[in-house]
Amino acid sequence: MTQAPPIPDAADAHGERLTQPALAELVRRFYAAARLDPVLGPVFESAVGDWESHLARVTAFWTSVLLGVRAYRGDPLGAHRRRPLTPEMFERWLAIWGNAAGEMFEPETARLLGARAAMIAESLQLGLFGMGGPAPGATRAGER
C-alpha cells in the first residue's frame, strides 16, 4: 500500500488538531453505523469477536496512516482476504466513513479523511479483486 504523508494539521469540528483520541472516536462512530448497515453489518459481526480489541487495532491503523505514528502492526490486505467482500461494499464503507468524518470534523478535514479512506479502499480493491482506479463513490467520501 502506498503511504501518503500524514495529515497532522487537520482539525475537528471544534478547530482542534487531529489526534489519536479523535480518531478513536471516529472509528467508534464508523463502526456504530456500519454494524447497522444491512450489507456491511453481517460481515463485521461474523468477522469480529472482540470488538474492543478490533476498535483498538483499527484505531492504531488509522493513527499510523493519518498521523504518521507507527502504532499499527498487521496485514490489512490479508485480514480482508478472509472476508466475503465485493467491490460494491467499498462504496458503502466509504459513504459511512465519510458521514462519520463529516459529523466530527471541519469540512476540509472530513474531505481529507475521505480522500485517504478512498486511497485505502483503492489499494484493498486492487489487492482483492485486481481492480484499479478509484473506489466507487470515492469522490463523494467525506463531502457533505
**DSSP-derived secondary structure letter, 4:** P
**Please, what is the Cα angle at 59 between 58 and 60, to 5 degrees?**
90
Q: What angle do CA 92, 97, 98 make, to 5 degrees?
A: 95
Contact between residue 66 and residue 105 where contact means Cβ atoms under 8 Å apart: no
Tell me if 106 sits within 8 A of 12, measured CB to CB. Answer: yes
Q: Which of 77, 12, 46, 102 is nearest to 20 (CA)?
A: 12
User: In the structure grid, which three cell numbers stand for residue 23, read together?
Assistant: 480518531
* pLDDT tens for each residue of 10-22: 554 445 578 899 9
Asked whether residue 51 carries a pLDDT value surpassing 90, the answer given is: yes
pLDDT digits (tens, 9 = 90+) for 64-113: 888 888 877 777 776 777 777 888 888 999 999 999 999 999 899 999 99
pTM tops 0.95: no
What are 117-136's pLDDT values in tens digits? 999 999 888 888 886 555 55
- Exposure of 87 in the CB half-sphere (CA atoms within 13 A): 15
Is CATH 1.10.490.10 the classification given to domain 20-129?
yes
Cβ proximity of 43 and 84 under 8 Å = yes
Predicted local confidence at residue 142, as pLDDT: 42
Report the distance separating Cα 37 and Cα 96, nearest Å: 9
